[in-house]
Amino acid sequence: MSVQLLHKKLIKKKLTISVAESCTGGLLGHNLTKLANSSKYFQMGLTTYSNQAKIKILNVNKNIIRKFGAVSHECCKIMVQNLSKISKSKINVSITGIAGPGGGSKEKPVGLVYIGIKKGKILIIKENKFKSINRNSIQKSTVRTVIKIINNII
């Protein structure tokens, strides 16, 4: 499932999209905007990399981060729900994870990435465990997964 197909579908169906990225650092936004006419659907791309950015910009409660961590189902869910309120886009995406090569633990290994997608009443929070020690490939795998999920739900 390619970004080109998604591009065409978003324009044809007049859907808008916004993203809040952490471990992908803007790569999803880059992929969604690299084709001409992406302004017809792309509304907002936030790179909320730090916990502080998640708290200040996306209004993630600091207790959620304290209790579950920034890389968690709970944080990802709040990120996408609050992005939806801020952006008013038809489709909203949140990404939080550990791209490595450091930063992982036994409980949360490198390659653990949560993807949140909200489209109307549909809310998907997907836990992924990408098997790679390469930061770049984890980021690219995350973006490919997001594009595939969105292509499947629209």
Distance of CA 25 to the CA centre of its chain: 10
Q: What is the DSSP string of 3-69?
A: HHHHHHHHHHTT--EEEEESTTTTHHHHHHHSSTTGGGTEEEEEE--SHHHHHHTT---HHHHHHH-
User: What are 26-59's pLDDT values in tens digits?
Assistant: 999 999 999 999 999 999 999 999 999 999 999 9
Predicted structure pTM score? 0.97
User: What are 96-112's pLDDT values in tens digits?
Assistant: 999 999 899 999 999 99
* Average pLDDT for 143-151: 97
Q: What is the DSSP letter of 111?
A: T
3-153, which class in CATH? alpha beta
On whether the CB atoms of residues 154 and 117 are closer than 8 A, the answer is no
Domain parsing of the chain, residue ranges = 3-153
pLDDT of residue 1: 59
Could you tell me the pLDDT band of residue 132, with boundaries at 50, 70 and 90?
Answer: confident
* Coil, strand or helix at 133: coil
